[in-house]
Amino acid sequence: MSILEMNNVTKQFGGLMALDDVSFQIDEGEIRGLIGPNGAGKSTMFKNIAGFYKPTSGSIVYRGVNLEGKQPHTIAEMGIVRTFQETTLFQELSVFENALVGAHIKSRSNVFSAVLGLDRLKQQAASEKVMDVLEFMGLTERKDQLASELPLGSQRALALAIALVSEPRMMLMDEPFAGMNAEETNHMMGLTRKVRESGITIVLVEHDMKAVMGLCNYLTVLNFGKLLAEGTPDEIRNNDRVIEAYLGGV
C-alpha cells in the first residue's frame, strides 16, 4: 500500500523547472533512495512534500489526504518529518533541549499548565522519550552540551534525534551522511536501519552511492527535475540513462 503519492508534481522558479511533471509512489515501511546529480531537484521535492514550498502544479497525497495548502507544521503533525541538507540544529540550546523541541507534537504545553505546573506527568514522559532517543542515538553522554559544541557526526545524529522524538510515520532525510568519514557513515547507516526497523518509512536523499545502495531496496532517480528511472539498486546501477546522467554531470 502506498503511503505517499506524487502526482505530476511540477515546481517552477521563474523560468527554471526544478521539478517537471514528476510522479512516483512510496510504500509504507519502505526505505527509498532518491538520487540524482546536483541540482536535480531532490531537495526541492522534499520541501514540496513537507509543505515548505507549494508545487506549481500537481498533487502530493499522503495516506489518502491531499497535502495541498497545508502548512509545514500541519504536515509534521500528520507524520511526515524532514531533516535538512545543511546541518540544522538549535545551536544555542543543549542537546537535550534540542531533542525536546522534537517532542512538541506529542507533549506540547499550554501557558496555563506551564505556569501552574499542571502537566508534570506529560513533561516527565516527554523527558523519558527524549532520553530514550538520545540513548538510541548514542548521545546520552553529551546531553548537556550545547549543540554548537558537538562534532559533525554527533550533530547529524542529533538532527535525526530531533526528528525521531516527534515519532513520525515517515522521514525525509536529506543527505544525512554528507561530510562524514567511513566510520561515521557506517554508524549512521546502522542507526538508519534501526529507525526503519522501528516501522518508520524512510526516503533518503544521498550522494554516497555505497550507502544508498546498501540501505535502500528501491531507488528513484531524478535528473534536471525529471523522473529519469526507478528500480532496484541493481537495475539502477546498470541503467544506461542513469550512468549517462551521472557521467554527463561530471
Partner 1 sequence: MNSKGGFTIQRMLFGAVLLAILLVTPHLLSFHHKDLLIFLTINVLAVCSYRLVTLTGEWSLIHAVMMGVGAYTVALSVNHFELAIWFTLPLAGVAAGLVAALLCFPLLRMTQFYFLIGSFAAGEAIRLTWVEFVGVFGGTSGLRGVEAPIVWGIDFLDPIPYYYFSLCVVTICLIILYRIEHSRVGLTLHAIHWKAPLAESVGVDAWRYRALAFILGSFFAGIAGGLKVQYLGSVTPNQFTIGFMVFILIWVIVGGYNKFYGPIIGVVVLTIFDESIRSFEIMRPAIYGGMLILSILFLPLGLESIPAKLKFWFGSGTSPDEPPLSDQ
Ligand X SMILES: Nc1ncnc2c1ncn2[C@@H]1O[C@H](COP(=O)(O)OP(=O)(O)OP(=O)(O)O)[C@@H](O)[C@H]1O
54 binds ligand X (CB under 6 A): no
- 12/127 with CB nearer partner 1: 127
Which residue among 4, 30, 41, 195 contacts ligand X (CB under 6 A)?
A: 41
**Angle formed at CA 183 by CA 182 and CA 185, multiple of 5 degrees:** 65
Among 17, 105, 178, 209, binds partner 1 (CB under 8 A): 105
DSSP one-letter code for 128: H
Strands (E), the chain: 2-13, 16-27, 31-35, 57-62, 65-66, 80-82, 170-174, 201-205, 218-223, 226-231
Site mask, Mg ion, residues 32-51, x = CB under 5 A? -----------x--------
Instruction: Tell me how far, at minimum, the Cβ of 107 lies from partner 1, in Å.
Output: 7
Instruction: Provide the mask over 83-122, with x wherever binding to ligand X is found by CB under 6 A and - wherever it is not.
Output: --x-------------------------------------
CA distance from start to end of the chain: 37
Give the shortest CB-34-to-Mg ion separation in angstroms: 10
- The answer to whether 107 and 197 have CB atoms below 8 angstroms apart is no
Q: How far apart are CA 231 and CA 239, in angstroms?
A: 9
Question: Measured between alpha carbons, how far is 189 from 185 in angstroms, rounded to an integer?
Answer: 6
**177 is a contact residue toward partner 1 (CB under 8 A):** no
Q: Quick check: 70 binds ligand X (CB under 6 A)?
A: no
**Nearest-angstrom CA–CA distance, 164 and 169:** 10
Q: Which of positions 48-67 make contact with partner 1 (CB under 8 A)?
A: 50, 52
155 near Mg ion (CB under 5 A): no
User: What count of residues does the chain have?
Assistant: 250
* Radius of gyration (C-alpha) of the chain in whole angstroms: 19
**Interface mask toward Mg ion for 63-92; x: CB under 5 A:** ----------------------x-------
> Using CB under 6 A, which of the segments 12-20, 185-193, 194-202, 231-239 binds ligand X?
12-20
Q: Give the interface with ligand X as residue ranges (CB under 6 A).
A: 13, 16, 18, 36, 38-44, 85
